[in-house]
Amino acid sequence: MGRIFEVRKSTMFARWDRMAKQFTRIGKEIVIAVKAGGPDPDTNPALRRCYLNAKAVNMPKDRVEAAIKRASGKDMTNYDEILYEGYAPHGVAVLIETATDNHVRTVANVKSIFNKGDGALGNSGSVSFQFKKMGVFKLNPAGLSADELELELIDAGLDEMGEGSGENGEDVLVLRCAFTDFGNLQKALEDKGITPISSELEWIPTSTVELNEEQAQDVLKLVDKLEQDDDVQKVFHNLK
């Protein structure tokens, strides 16, 4: 087991702005999960995942519960999940996951950010073929035998496992599986009494683009602008 490959992440905006954005993102994920599977985390795996990810970013429990209560109301906003594709400067592929109640506003904002950042918004399928959608679980390695765990989880759909970094740069175990095996691996971890630090569905690039520092900053500035948009949930790219 070695160091698992992770693409470069943007850390451009301030900590408190980042935290507020994370709370907003998870709040929308809670709404979508509750609308799809109900407000009981015991019977709604997607909502259990929201609980984990809220804890990972230190989102207060009362805010999580308030979001679930609001999501259960009849007048709660419905969000559509839309994937946008495009290219940042220097040929870097970018995928943008959004959750929006206004498609026209969202596509206009995303297109404007690409144009101002010397990128280009593409059509559906123009970029996504360069990525694989995978389940990604991050675990605290303390008390775990990585080699034994890897063998035990293969039948649950584990595709790859290695060392990685957490939200604050701490060492974590990163587990990846195919999108279709996400539920199986989540249940296998629960059955073993292992609570992940976080569990996400992510777009993992099949190849990466290596740039010099100045060029990389051009890309990360565009990624940062996208991440700050209210309708954007997550941004993925293939910058090494």
CA-closest candidate to residue 175, choices 206, 205, 154: 154
Residue ranges per structural domain of the chain: 15-71, 80-129+207-237, 130-205
Residue pLDDT, tens place only, 210-219: 999 999 999 9
pLDDT value at residue 72: 87
Nearest to 178 by CA among 157, 197, 199: 157
Task: Report pLDDT for 11.
Answer: 53
Whether 71 contacts 35, CB under 8 Å: yes
Regions of the chain with pLDDT less than 70: 1-2, 8-17
Q: Which residue matches tokens 């918004």?
A: 121
What pLDDT, on the 0 to 100 scale, is given for residue 4? Answer: 79
Looking at the DSSP assignment, which residues form a beta bridge with residue 171?
A: 165
85/94 Cα distance (integer angstroms):
6
- Locate 48 and state its tokens: 């259990």
Q: If one looks up domain 80-129+207-237 in CATH, what number appears?
A: 3.30.70.980
Bridge partners (DSSP) of residue 160 are 176
What is the C-alpha to C-alpha distance for residues 142 and 233, in angstroms, rounded to an integer? 30
Given a contact cutoff of 8 angstroms between Cβ atoms, the answer to whether 238 and 7 are in contact is: yes
> CA-to-CA distance for 23 and 179, rounded, in angstroms?
24
pLDDT of residue 75: 73
Give the pLDDT score at 9: 62
Q: Do the two domains 80-129+207-237 and 130-205 of this chain adopt the same fold?
A: yes
What CATH number matches the domain at 15-71, 2.30.30.40, 3.20.20.70, 2.60.40.2890, 1.10.10.200?
A: 1.10.10.200
The pLDDT of residue 76 is: 76
DSSP 154-173: GGGTEEEEEEEE-TTS-EEE
Q: Which of 236, 227, 203 is nearest to 11 (CA)?
A: 227
